[in-house]
């Protein structure tokens, strides 16, 4: 830097170090070294390092293991021999069958044991006469043998014409015996030396094969058991060590035949399934309560084991995932992969995902109100939306949607839904409330229609419905929009739809987050026919989401993993196939992202003729009826007058909710846009209305009165 530049910061050059100080420090440092550590301390440290080193531990474990294999093998052989010679096996099986309450099997084992004892008695009796019989047998054998040899000798002598050949066969036999004795004498020594070692080797091999050593001595991979296939003995051992005293005692009574409690282990999707009939005195909920321990005993994570109550009495059904299999994504939705997929509100089922067995999980939406809850950002909107996208492929279904998050998750329903409210403010909640009240009005209109009238399905969707319940605003008549009082507008409208909408196909779906009694009142959650839950924080929330029956039957959304089990739902509904005896099913839903959703929505739009989506519901203002008619007709050439009336009612319940054909006629009479008959039905034409609108005089004669 040149001299005429002024530095903008303080110079930080360190103060010069005194050379003497450096020298002193350099000289002082060796002197400051610690006093030498005594030899015994160093030796102790060395010994400890060697003793605790992983290699030492592995070597010790290996030595102990192989020694213990021999002991284990000996024990197995001894037990097999003992069981082969006594009736203990039959006794054990008898006790097992008795403990499992299977009296039929118990009787059979008792009979078998009895037969075994009789046979054994007969053999022992036979032994008493055996020496006499053996002596007789030997004498007879010797006589026949000697006679035979003599006969052969005579035949040889005659043939060779040499009488000395008579003794030749006998001499050959004597020679053979001599050789055998000679061979035995030579090999006896080595056999005596090798024999015990061969026996030891056999016992070791048997012990190793059966892993007959304590857990601590087994190699690391066998010790952790991670990912080990589920076998009957592993399940029995896991149940025995569950910490339920009566279960443990009963299994001990059964010996290692505790496997008689188990049904066959079946492959079920990415895991296995087995029914366990518990011994009397052990209740199913005692096992259910210990899910984590059972999972750990089975070398699985808690979320990989599901315990439900099977149909048979005293029986729990365990589903155990293959290690890590639940973390694998499931494939894409058929709605994405099959561009020709169709929907039918009445008879079809929405392809929602897969159950844990890997079977397709499809949900019927016909005349069922729906409630999906879960913690934030776990896939609630995606799950709800995928159902709506499927149903949108049925062109008869009308959607009215309020998305109270409003970040565009439902944007693809623009031009598909007749109402689309998107936003989180109180104004949006007010609009959503009025939308649901519109559903009530339509429902009441339908309920008053002549019997047998057919209605097209009308599905109202409120996503993030908790905001509606929590809205603090009151209307001009002092009625609150939120809350759960008899005067609360949103609550009462939902209750009315829940109570009577189903029969006339006015259906409400709600998505809510983190349920509490305040943001999801009891009557509302119980009004839904299909209840589904993503991961939740607590069991009490799970009870709110799915109801006590489902939770008592083993449903456990609170045990799903936040962040990891996104899109995994526990569903309680009669619209989905649930295995007999279970109250819920766990479904891993297909994820349909925004782009795919738009693509499906475009297909649905193509099936319909130009639906006009209303974004804002206006209230209490003077309306221009002709302009409103033009709005609801949209870009469709001809619209049935009936549909025009319906759409007007959606546009403004206050202004048009009570309109009849006469009102429509009153507004359009005398104009070129007058309704006329087309194919026998009254319609209005878009082009004529547009012309009337353009030509009308300015005296406001077309305003709603
Ligand atoms: N079925 C699924 N499989 C895998 N991931 C999913 C699935 N569904 C959703 N997700 C993931 O979870 C994220 C959040 O999904 P979504 O917006 O539907 O959650 P949400 O519960 O509605 O959130 P919030 O209500 O808190 O805004 C998605 O962006 C996606 O990455």
Residues 202-240: tens digit of each pLDDT: 999 988 887 777 777 777 666 655 567 888 888 988 998
> Does the structure show a pLDDT above 50 at 701?
no
Nearest CA to ligand 1 atom 9: 379
**Does the beta carbon of 374 lie inside 6 Å of ligand 1?**
yes
**Spacing of C-alpha 403 from chain mean position:** 29
- Using CA positions, which residue lies closest to atom 5 of ligand 1? 566
**Pocket test residue of 331, 335, 566, 588 for ligand 1, highest count of atoms within 8 A of CB:** 566
- CB of 377 closer than 6 A to ligand 1? yes
Which residue has the CA at smallest separation from atom 28 of ligand 1? 379
Ligand 1 near 232 CB (within 6 A): no
| Interval 637-678: pLDDT, tens | 888 998 888 888 887 777 887 788 888 888 888 888 888 888
Mean pLDDT of 516-528: 93
702 strand-pairing partners: none
Choose which residue among 567, 570, 571, 589 to substitute to test ligand 1 binding: the one with the highest number of ligand atoms within 8 A of its C-beta. 567
CA 365 / ligand 1 centre spacing (Å): 21
Q: Which atom of ligand 1 is nearest the CA belonging to 376?
A: 26
* Number of the ligand 1 atom closest to the C-alpha atom of 534: 21
pLDDT grade for 621, boundaries at 50, 70 and 90: low
Return the closest-CA partner of residue 525 out of 542, 551, 546, 499.
Answer: 546
Q: Answer yes or no: is pLDDT of 128 > 80.
A: yes
Give the residue, 361 or 211, on which the prediction is more confident.
Answer: 361
566 a known binding residue? no
Tokens of 404: 């109270």
Q: Ligand 1 in contact with 406 (CB < 6 A)?
A: no
Mean of per-residue pLDDT scores for the chain: 86
Task: Tell the residue nearest (CA) to atom 11 of ligand 1.
Answer: 379
Residue 21 has pLDDT above 70, yes or no: no
pLDDT at residue 27, rounded to an integer: 43
Which domains, ranges and CATH numbers included, belong to the chain?
Answer: 46-217 (no CATH), 225-326 (3.30.980), 351-607 (3.40.50.300), 625-695 (no CATH)
**122-148 mean pLDDT:** 91
Looking at ligand 1, which residue's alpha carbon is closest to its atom 2?
567
**Euclidean distance between CA atoms 353 and 360, whole angstroms:** 6
User: How much is the pLDDT for 444?
Assistant: 94
Distance 593 CA to ligand 1 centre (A): 9
591 lines ligand 1 (CB under 6 A): yes
Atom of ligand 1 nearest to the CA of 409: 17
Q: State the average pLDDT over residues 586-600.
A: 95
Determine the Cα–Cα distance for residues 293 and 548; give it in Å rounded to an integer: 23
User: Would you say residue 374 has pLDDT above 70?
Assistant: yes
Q: Is 374 among the annotated ligand-binding positions?
A: yes
* 568 touches ligand 1 (CB under 6 Å): no
The angle subtended at Cα 246 by Cα 242 and Cα 247, nearest 5°, is 45
Atom of ligand 1 at shortest range from CA of 384: 18
Query: Is 375 one of the annotated binding-site residues?
Result: yes
512 CB less than 6 Å from ligand 1? no
For the chain, the distance separating the N- and C-terminal CA atoms, rounded to the nearest angstrom, is 87
The pLDDT value given to residue 227:
61
Tell me if residue 680 falls in helix, strand or coil.
Answer: coil
The interface predicted TM-score (ipTM) is 0.97
Q: Whose CA is nearest to atom 30 of ligand 1?
A: 379
Q: In this predicted structure, which of 50-54, 536-540, 610-614 has the lowest mean pLDDT?
A: 610-614
Binding site membership of 466 for ligand 1 (Cβ less than 6 Å): no
Tell me which residue has its CA closest to atom 18 in ligand 1: 379
Q: Which residue has the higher pLDDT, 564 or 258?
A: 564
381 annotated ligand-binding residue? yes
Q: Rounded to whole angstroms, how far apart are CA atoms 292 and 159?
A: 90
Task: For residues 597-609, give the mean pLDDT.
Answer: 91
- The response to whether 289 counts as a known ligand-binding position is no
User: Looking at the predicted structure, is the pLDDT value of residue 543 above 90?
Assistant: yes
396 or 667: which leads in pLDDT:
396
Sheet containing 271-277: which strands, arranged edge to edge?
Answer: 266-268, 271-277, 315-321, 305-309
Residue 382 alpha carbon, nearest atom of ligand 1: 18
What's the whole-number mean pLDDT along residues 15-21? 45
Query: For atom 10 of ligand 1, which residue has the closest CA?
Result: 379
Please tell me whether 655 is known to bind a ligand. Answer: no
- Ligand 1 binding pocket includes 90 (Cβ within 6 Å): no
Q: Is 560 annotated as a binding residue?
A: no
Q: What does the pLDDT read at residue 15?
A: 47
Answer whether 431 contacts ligand 1 (Cβ < 6 A). no
Phi, psi of 24 (to 5 degrees): -60, -45
For residue 13, pLDDT beyond 50:
no
Minimal-distance CA residue to ligand 1 atom 27? 377
pLDDT for residue 68 is more than 70: yes
Q: Is 496 annotated as a binding residue?
A: no
What length is written for the chain? 705
pLDDT digits (tens, 9 = 90+) for 415-461: 899 999 999 999 999 999 999 999 999 999 999 988 888 899 999 99
Looking at residue 55, its pLDDT comes to 84
- Give me 439's structure tokens: 């559903």
Ligand 1 pocket mutation pick from 328, 375, 382 by most atoms within 8 angstroms of CB: 382
Cα(647)–Cα(649) distance, integer angstroms = 5
- For residue 591, give the ligand 1 atom closest to its CA: 1
Assess whether pLDDT exceeds 70 at residue 533.
yes
Query: Ligand 1: distance of its center to the CA of 406 in Å?
Result: 15
Residue 636 Cβ contacting ligand 1 at under 6 Å: no
Per-residue pLDDT band at 61 (split at 50, 70, 90): confident
**Residues 6 or more apart in contact with residue 155 via CB below 8 angstroms:** none
As a whole number, mean pLDDT of residues 7-28 equals: 45
Ligand 1 touching residue 641 (CB < 6 A)? no
Percentage above 70 pLDDT, the chain? 90
List, in sequence order, the alpha helices (H) in 609-660: 625-633, 641-651, 653-656
pLDDT in tens, 209-218: 877 777 777 7
564 lines ligand 1 (CB under 6 A): no
382 lines ligand 1 (CB under 6 A): yes
Ligand 1: which of 328, 361, 371, 377 to mutate, most ligand atoms within 8 Å of CB? 377
DSSP β-bridge partners for residue 683: 640, 676
Is the CB of residue 594 below 6 angstroms from any atom belonging to ligand 1? no
Check residue 591 and give its pLDDT. 95
Residue range 242-299, pLDDT digits in tens: 999 988 888 887 755 677 788 888 888 888 999 999 988 888 889 988 988 999 889 8
Q: Are 533 and 374 in contact (CB under 8 A)?
A: yes
CA 139 to the chain's CA centroid: 77
Confidence tier at 353 by pLDDT (50, 70, 90): very high
Q: Which residues, 6 or more positions from 634, have their beta carbon under 8 angstroms from its beta carbon?
A: 610, 611, 612, 686
Residue 412 confidence class, pLDDT cut points 50, 70, 90 = very high
pLDDT at 54 over 60: yes
* CB of 467 closer than 6 angstroms to any ligand 1 atom: no
Q: State if residue 386 touches ligand 1 by the CB under 6 angstroms criterion.
A: no
């Amino acid at each position: 830097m040149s001299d005429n530049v002024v530095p903008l910061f303080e110079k930080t050059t360190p103060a010069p170090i005194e050379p003497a100080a450096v020298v002193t420090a350099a000289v002082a440092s060796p002197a400051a070294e610690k006093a030498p550590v005594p030899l015994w301390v160093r030796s102790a440290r060395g010994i400890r390092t060697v003793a605790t080193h992983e290699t030492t531990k592995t070597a010790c474990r290996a030595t102990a293991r192989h020694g213990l294999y021999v002991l284990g093998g000996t024990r197995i052989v001894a037990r097999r021999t003992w069981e082969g010679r006594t009736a203990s096996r039959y006794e054990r099986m008898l006790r097992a069958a008795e403990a499992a309450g299977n009296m039929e099997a118990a009787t059979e084992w008792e009979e078998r044991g009895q037969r075994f004892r009789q046979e054994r008695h007969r053999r022992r009796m036979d032994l008493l006469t055996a020496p006499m019989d053996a002596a007789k047998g030997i004498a007879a054998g010797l006589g026949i043998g000697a006679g035979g040899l003599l006969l052969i000798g005579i035949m040889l002598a005659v043939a060779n014409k040499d009488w000395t050949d008579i003794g030749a066969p006998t001499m050959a036999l004597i020679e053979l015996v001599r050789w055998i004795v000679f061979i035995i004498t030579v090999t006896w020594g080595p056999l005596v030396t090798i024999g015990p070692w061969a026996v030891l080797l056999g016992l070791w091999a048997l012990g190793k094969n059966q892993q007959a050593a304590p857990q601590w001595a087994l190699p690391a991979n066998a010790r952790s058991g991670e990912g080990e296939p589920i076998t009957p003995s592993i399940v029995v051992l896991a149940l025995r060590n569950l910490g339920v005293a009566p279960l443990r005692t009963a299994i001990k009574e059964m010996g290692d035949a505790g496997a008689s409690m188990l049904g066959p282990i079946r492959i079920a999707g990415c895991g296995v399934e087995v029914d366990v009939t518990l011994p009397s005195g052990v209740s199913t909920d005692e096992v259910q309560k210990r899910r984590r321990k059972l999972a750990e005993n089975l070398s699985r994570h808690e979320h990989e084991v599901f315990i439900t109550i099977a149909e048979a009495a005293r029986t729990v059904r365990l589903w155990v995932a293959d290690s890590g299999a639940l973390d694998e994504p499931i494939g894409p939705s058929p709605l994405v992969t099959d561009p020709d997929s169709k929907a039918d509100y009445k008879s079809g089922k929405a392809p929602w995902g897969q159950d844990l067995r890997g079977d397709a999980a499809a949900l019927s939406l016909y005349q069922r109100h729906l409630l999906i809850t879960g913690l934030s950002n776990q896939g609630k909107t995606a799950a709800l939306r995928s159902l709506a996208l499927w149903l949108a492929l049925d062109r008869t279904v009308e959607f009215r949607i309020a998305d109270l998050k409003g970040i565009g998750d439902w944007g693809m329903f623009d031009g598909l839904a007749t109402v689309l409210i998107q936003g989180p403010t109180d104004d949006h909640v007010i609009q959503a409330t009025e939308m649901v009240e519109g559903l009530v009005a339509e429902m009441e209109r339908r309920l008053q229609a002549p019997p047998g009238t057919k209605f097209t399905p009308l599905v109202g969707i409120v996503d993030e419905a908790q905001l509606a319940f929590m809205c603090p605003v009151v209307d001009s008549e002092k009625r609150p929009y939120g809350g759960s009082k008899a005067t609360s507008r949103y609550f009462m409208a939902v209750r009315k739809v829940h109570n009577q909408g189903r029969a006339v196909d006015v259906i409400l779906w709600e998505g809510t987050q983190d349920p509490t009694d305040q943001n999801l009142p009891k009557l509302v959650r119980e009004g839904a026919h299909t209840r589904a839950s993503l991961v939740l924080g607590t069991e009490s929330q799970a009870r709110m989401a799915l109801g006590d029956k489902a939770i008592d039957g083993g449903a456990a959304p609170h045990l799903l993993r936040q962040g990891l089990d996104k899109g995994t739902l526990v569903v309680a509904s009669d619209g989905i196939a649930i295995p007999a005896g279970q109250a819920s099913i766990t479904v891993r839903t297909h994820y349909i992202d925004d782009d795919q959703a738009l693509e499906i929505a475009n297909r649905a739009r193509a099936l319909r003729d130009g639906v006009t989506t209303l974004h804002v519901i206006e209230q209490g203002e003077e309306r221009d009826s002709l302009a409103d008619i033009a709005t609801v007709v949209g870009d469709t050439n001809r619209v049935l007058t009936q549909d025009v009336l319906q759409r007007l009612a959606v546009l403004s319940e206050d202004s048009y909710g009570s309109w009849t054909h006469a009102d429509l006629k009153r507004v359009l009479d005398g104009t070129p846009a007058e309704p006329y008959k087309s194919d026998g039905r009254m319609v209005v034409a878009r082009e004529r209305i547009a012309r009337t609108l353009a030509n009308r005089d300015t005296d406001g004669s077309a305003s709603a009165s």
